[in-house]
Amino acid sequence: MDWKSAIKGFEAYLMLERSMSKNSIKAYIADVEKLASYVSASTESRPDSLTKKEADQFLGFLHEVGIGARSQARILSGLKAFYKYLILENAVTKSPLELIEGPKLAKKLPIVLHQEEIDAMIATIDLSQPQGHRNKAIIEVLYACGLRVTELVNLKLSNFYDELGYVQVIGKNNKERVVPIADYSIKVVRQYTDNDRKQLDIKEGYSDFVFLNRRGKSISRVMVFNIVKQLARDAGIDKNISPHTFRHSFATHLVEGGADLRAVQQMLGHESILTTELYTHLDTDYLRYTLENFLPSFGNNSPVVSH
């Protein structure tokens, strides 16, 4: 099996067997192609002839050209998945990457918005302008439901169960989950669907999508990023935020409020509760940061005011 045919088979496996998103598949394939290009430059290489030494040299090369530790770890994960596929196909009997450990990664806590900052962003939206109600609904749903941006752009009108107070979300690997949504958030969405959205010439195949662009088609992930960035600038927020920041804020505020970690895990759609546990650390560090930076006499028996 040569690299080209192995990569083609791996791509089909990721799509059909793993049901991965197009973006994830593209990233995995690009990682394997990097390895194939590196080893093929100096030898007649095939996937089943790769040695641990060559794999180590490839990872060293990634470091030399300035690829960061986090990206190196992601590439190594993709390569290990590739060799797991080859083992399943009986193309190899053992992975040369099996004993290779990724670089040590510092735990990086995500950026979180205060409730006041979220309110400030929403306050900058001019509801008299086209797409004003849409943009407000986007921010409201991102924060109120803790959605990933891909989940948001694929959200359907038929996913909303207003009377029951929940939204059906299609997450990673097409896994469905149910997320509660507050009456106020539903009201904001309906203000959009009853106003801005009704003025659009909705194209065929897009009538059930909640968030549409001016051409009557589903809004793109890039457009959501741009909307969030612009609203942050308008509100004078200098944090490097993205749509995912609202997901982090959603989870952090729930944990701060004493929500059960298992419930938060289910609402976020995390496969492992270890991922959700990040927000317990974030909660502690966030509170300490707030006290140290906004309560100068912290540590000197100063009163702590809850927020």
Catalytic residues: 148, 172, 244, 247, 270, 279
Neighbours of 25 (CB within 10 A): 17
CB 62 within 8 A of CB 37: no
| DSSP label of 110 | P
The sign one gets for the Cα dihedral 74, 76, 78, 80 is negative
Tokens of 73: 């770890």
- CA atoms of 9 and 30, how far apart (whole Å): 14
- CA atoms of 189 and 131, how far apart (whole Å): 12
Pairing, β 166-170 against β 160-161: antiparallel
Rg of the chain, C-alpha, whole Å = 23
φ and ψ at residue 14, rounded to 5 degrees: -65, -40
Q: Nearest to residue 249, comparing CAs of 84, 76, 110, 93?
A: 110
- Secondary structure element (H or E) that encloses residue 276, with its range: helix 273-276
Q: Nearest to residue 284, comparing CAs of 252, 262, 251?
A: 252
Tokens of 227: 């909307």
Tokens of 72: 């190196």
